[in-house]
Structure 1
Amino acid sequence: MLRILLLALAWAAAGAACVRLCRAAVAAAPHQARRSTRPRDRELTLLEAAFLAGGPGRVMDVTLVTMHRRRALLLAHTGWATVVDADTDHVLERSVIRAIGPAGHQARTDAVRRAAGTADAVRAIAASLEEAGLAVPDTSRARSAAAVRQVRAAAFAVPVLTVAALALPGGGVPGSALLPWFALPLLLTLTALLIGRAEIRPYLGWASPEGRRLLAGLITTADGTERGRLTAIAVAGPDAIEDPLLRRALSSGRRERAATRAAHRGH
């Protein structure tokens, strides 16, 4: 009886996960077809490209680097940002200044990046790109990611339930007779994962398929000019920064958070 219960749990986990994945794919599909009237004629701005490549955090990376290079902000390799010149008309730069304070004030670069990344100006960029069909809406991306996680969890749970069922007394029923019944939900979840790579994966990132096409065009046009270097940062992130100290200034906080999460997992 316990074996039958475990088998039912395996089928329920696989079925619920696959249904959720299918529903996420169906819900996300309309966003791929939803585009502006002439999407192929549209030219991405630097900050739009940054958002499509890395979301609000990438937008702030480009903004912080721009301010640093014109001496409005000092980004130290220790992970601190210092306001040098608080006079700016750029809406995102004003968000950075508000997150730190007037001239002479300091704050952790990573904290500034997160705080300013929630500004109305960043949300306006996101809304414009979503309306044009170039960005994946937050709800669609979250729904797709949750569905993929559930299918992966089911793919892990089914073998665990199989082993548990085989370890129980069979009451005269050999384990080999149960294996095919457990193999079917496992096959279902693995197949769903393969299908999800094609149907769901485009909606796990920030850019829609059309948005990624425009980003690919930007990569080929990046050059050695200041605009080209900022474009490379927008598309590839801090790794594209040539100055190692500036690159470290933008990545120090993220490395610390990753180390903290690893330490917590170790405990």
Structure 2
Amino acid sequence: MWYTEFIIAAALVVLAGLGASTALQRMRRVPYPQGLPGRGLPLLDAAFLAGGPERVADTVIIRMQQEGRLIVSRERLVTLTDGRVQDEVESALIAAAGPAGQRHLDQLRRAVMRSESVQRIGDRLADRGLMRRPDLHRRVVRARRLLWLALLATVALGVLATVSWASRPWQERDTSMPPVFAFFGLLLFGILWLAATKPGKARITPAGVRQLALMRSASNPWRPRTGVGAGSALVLGAVALEGVQALDDEELRAALLARVASLNGPSNSTVFSCSGDSGPTPTWCGAPSDGGSGGSGGSSCGSSSCGSSSGGGCASSSSSCGSSSSSCGSSSSSCGSSSSCGGGSSCGS
């Protein structure tokens, strides 16, 4: 009798499929749906939505530099000149600068990206349905891997049952159809379930994409309404939405682009490469574990927020990043420690 093998295979597929469906529902759940905020999205929220923790760190550094509260030297050393703060992200930056009020740009940026205040921005955007939490995305990916294993077990059990059925004498075979048809139907059912639970690769939800399009497509360039001086609002709005390339200050732009040139993908990229060489990885760091397109791109490595958009390897030691003599700025291959390399095709996810 091949029914025993079929029941086992069906139980594996159903249990794994239910797990994948449940994980997908949890990822898509919006705890606090509020609709699109229109053009009233705060500056740092817009920066996170458009470019993740790295964009938030760059926006804060540029804002403080424009207001004369910090200086970025040609050696890419950041020096604080004023301890006043406007929000908790600036408090995190000042704390990261240390008692001396001075730190290398790469190290400072990485500390700000990993700070709880920046990570909470991503949580806030996810709660209102503009982004998907990467930890929940990874749970869906893991659940779907179990479904894949269940399908492989179905194939193995189907082959075993068919061979056992065919090896019996004709008189002892079941009068029902051969087991291959039942197992093939179960396999097809599992494949359809697998396709239905595909989580997508973008961290930005369709609502988040519409929000960014709304802010970018208006006739008047978007600018934040509060917390920014009138003179710098237009510049900071452009930086938040489009990245450091929109900055007019050539010297500061060169300092910031020295490392991010190899990281930036599309303007709505969410490859958040702030994973560390020790300690737990913050929630909003690393790339989705199954790669990315449309809302994430390439792979992410990074003991010091280094990475490459496509082919960079995880090679250099964790201690070599962020020093004033050898920053993580090469645009092709130098990036974080191997301990940051996670599942799938991404590192630091």
Is residue 48–residue 129 contact of structure 1 (8 Å, CA) maintained in 2?
yes
2:143 to 143, 147, 150: 150
Q: Hey, what does 2:172 align to over in structure 1? A: none
Counterpart code for 1:45: P
Residue from 200, 207, 210 that aligns with 1:210: 207
User: 1:96 offset after TM fit, Å?
Assistant: 0.8
Choose 151-160 or 162-171, whichever is displaced more. Answer: 162-171
SS in 1 for 2:188: helix
Whichever residue aligns with residue 50 of structure 1, its letter is: A
Q: Distance in 2 between matches of 1:238 and 1:259?
A: 28
Give the C-alpha shift of residue 257 in structure 1.
2.5
| Deviation at residue 151 of structure 1 after TM alignment | 1.5
- Higher relative contact order (Cα pairs below 8 Å, separated by 6+ residues): 1
Unaligned runs of 5+ in 2: 168-177, 223-230, 264-303, 308-334, 345-349
Name the CA distance, whole Å, in 2 between partners of 1:240 and 1:181.
60
Between the aligned partners of 2:245 and 2:147, the Cα distance in structure 1 is 36
Report the number of matched residues: 250
Letter in 2 for 1:85: T
Superposition pairs for residues 54-69 of structure 1, below 5 Å? 54-68=51-65
Match of 1:118 in 2: 115
Do residues 19 (structure 1) and 18 (structure 2) align? yes
Aligned residue in 2 for 1:83: 79
Asked whether 1:248 is paired with 2:258, we answer yes
Q: Any conservation in 2 of the 1:11–1:185 contact (CA below 8 Å)?
A: yes
> Is the alpha carbon distance of 1:192 and 1:120 closer, same or farther for their aligned partners in structure 2, counting shifts above 3 Å?
same
Counterpart of 2:336 in structure 1 is: 257
Distance 1:103 1:57, change over 3 A: same
Change (3 A) 1:104 1:130: closer
* 1:24–1:147 CA contact under 8 A, matched in 2: yes
Does the residue aligned with 1:83 lie in a helix, a strand or coil? strand
Give the corresponding residue for 1:48. Answer: 45
Q: Does the residue aligned with 2:41 lie in a helix, a strand or coil? A: coil
Distance 1:15 1:238 in 2: 48
* Structure with greater helix share of residues: 1
Cα distance 1:13–1:130, how it changes in 2: closer, same or farther (>3 A)? Answer: same
Shift of residue 106 of structure 1?
1.9
Instruction: Select between 155-164 and 58-67 the one with higher mean Cα deviation.
Output: 155-164
In 1, Cα distance between equivalents of 2:55 and 2:213: 16
Q: Report if the CA contact (8 A) 2:47-2:56 is conserved.
A: yes
Partners of 1:118 and 1:211 in 2: how far apart?
Answer: 23
1:101 and 2:98 are equivalent in the alignment:
yes
TM-score, normalised with respect to structure 1: 0.65
TM-score w.r.t. length of structure 2: 0.53
Distance 1:75 1:17 in 2: 55
CA distance 1:26–1:259, change in 2 (3 Å): closer
Relative to structure 1, is the Cα distance of residues 257 and 170 closer, same or farther in structure 2, using a 3 angstrom cutoff?
A: same
RMSD of the TM alignment (CA)? 4.6
- Asked if structure 2 preserves the Cα contact closer than 8 Å seen for 1:57 and 1:117, the reply is no
2:81 partner SS: coil
